Homo-oligomer: A and B are copies of this chain.
């Protein structure tokens, strides 16, 4: 059979990694796919830059639209990133009858609904395994392997930068700022780290996973987002003493009231597998009504792991090239006319346990005041512990772990505690999830 011709948009980290894997493992891949796969064209911003892959046999251009519309090309790999230009490039490729594989989570999370509609109308595939959790095949697992399940919930470590920083704070005993610099030095964090440490990247991924799990349109704007910037080393130490690790999680849960989608730091019991996922690694825990709990772990970023996911999608697409378009796996797992509109729950409606760190004056009666406020709001205390004695400034940390309570009640109790005369700083509040 004639080889499949592939055009690559972007030869940065992921693009070069993909070209490298496709040529290094060409024989192995053809033995699986039943056809040779050849990268014939690529679009790059800078023609003169050296690349981490062999480009001798690839025709280069600076114009991505030239590749996206080239009639010799069967499949486009969109590996340039960004939201605006990449949208136009993908839309152009679809208009020219090409299947698309992308690693672009922002594009899929924010513009996926439009692109999937365009692709389905044209009988084409947009594949995006690499957009979520790098080399971990969580899209395929949710979309195909758990097709018999009603998915109840999922929780994932979806951003390697956050997980690296939280792991390093714990292991090295240093503060957030130092560990962020370390992540930047090692290339795990961008010069502007806001997308990662602010939780936006994880929220993009969570909104994609949630759509596929629950059969809804993509709805990035309904994700509640908190980053890790406010986590202090002492919170990680106190959590550890209580038997927990602090992880930055994306959580999606469906119940009769609606859909609960949120990204925030979380205390997780040390005995949980998710708590033991360290450094830049990612993992996703999925709970289905038949399968129970499953967990999928691996590298969430990096040239080679992301390339692994891109190539898997490419092989899937190669298989669809001569097969019946009506029978393909739907983009969002459920048939397009079977997607549901589920109500999004506001963060104030959720219920979970909380870790609270108060900074209060070491005076008689303060703990009585605090416990009275919590009790009035129906927030019941599981553990309360004053850490040491007041120093020169006369203030002490008090750590509280609550039982399950309504988010809105905890929030108003926190406000009232912060208003006490004895309160010397803002309360640090971190949710605590019991996962299975």
Interface stretch of the complex, out of A31-39, A81-89, A343-351, A383-391 = A31-39
Tell me which residues across on chain B come within 8 A of A307, comparing CB atoms: 148, 290
Instruction: Give the contacting residue for A295; candidates B292, B297, B316; CB below 8 A.
Output: B297
Identical chains in the assembly? 2
Scan A294-328; emit 1 where CB is below 8 A from any B CB, else 0: 11111100101101111110111001111110111
A174 CB within 8 Å of chain B: no
Tell me which residues across on chain B come within 8 A of A334, comparing CB atoms: 31-32
Interface size on A, residues (CB 8 A): 70
A411 CB within 8 Å of chain B: no
Tell me which residues across on chain B come within 8 A of A179, comparing CB atoms: none
In contact, B330 and A32 (Cβ under 8 angstroms):
yes
Interface positions, chain A 180-204, Cβ under 8 Å from B, are: none
In contact, A295 and B294 (Cβ under 8 angstroms):
no
A135 CB within 8 Å of chain B: yes
A112 CB within 8 Å of chain B: no
In contact, A294 and B329 (Cβ under 8 angstroms):
no
A21 CB within 8 Å of chain B: yes
Known contacts A29-B148, A145-B312, A308-B288, A296 near B299 by CB under 8 Å: no
A215 CB within 8 Å of chain B: yes
In contact, B324 and A25 (Cβ under 8 angstroms):
no
Q: Once the chains are docked, how many angstroms separate the CA of A143 from the CA of B33?
A: 10
Q: Once the chains are docked, how many angstroms separate the CA of A273 from the CA of B145?
A: 22
In contact, A304 and B328 (Cβ under 8 angstroms):
no
Tell me which residues across on chain B come within 8 A of A327, comparing CB atoms: 34, 319-323
Q: Once the chains are docked, how many angstroms separate the CA of A21 from the CA of B149?
A: 8
Q: How far is the CB of A23 from chain B (nearest CB, A)?
A: 11
Instruction: Give the contacting residue for A273; candidates B276, B322, B323; CB below 8 A.
Output: B276
A293 CB within 8 Å of chain B: yes
Q: Once the chains are docked, how many angstroms separate the CA of A136 from the CA of B288?
A: 12
Instruction: Give the contacting residue for A294; candidates B33, B135, B324; CB below 8 A.
Output: B135
Instruction: Give the contacting residue for A150; candidates B28, B129, B291, B321; CB below 8 A.
Output: B28
Q: Once the chains are docked, how many angstroms separate the CA of A292 from the CA of B137?
A: 13
A140 CB within 8 Å of chain B: yes
Instruction: Give the contacting residue for A329; candidates B29, B143, B319; CB below 8 A.
Output: B319
A335 CB within 8 Å of chain B: yes
Q: Once the chains are docked, how many angstroms separate the CA of A326 from the CA of B1?
A: 11
Show 29 residue pairs from A and B whose CB-CB distance is below 8 angstroms, ordered by the A residue: A21-B148, A25-B148, A28-B149, A28-B215, A29-B147, A32-B147, A32-B333, A34-B330, A135-B294, A140-B141, A141-B145, A148-B307, A148-B315, A273-B276, A273-B277, A290-B304, A290-B307, A290-B311, A291-B298, A291-B308, A292-B304, A293-B298, A295-B295, A295-B296, A319-B329, A322-B327, A323-B323, A323-B327, A324-B324
Chain A residues close to B by CB (< 8 Å): 17, 21-22, 24-25, 28-34, 129, 135-137, 140-141, 143-150, 215, 271, 273, 276-277, 288-299, 302, 304-305, 307-312, 314-316, 319-324, 326-330, 333-335, 338
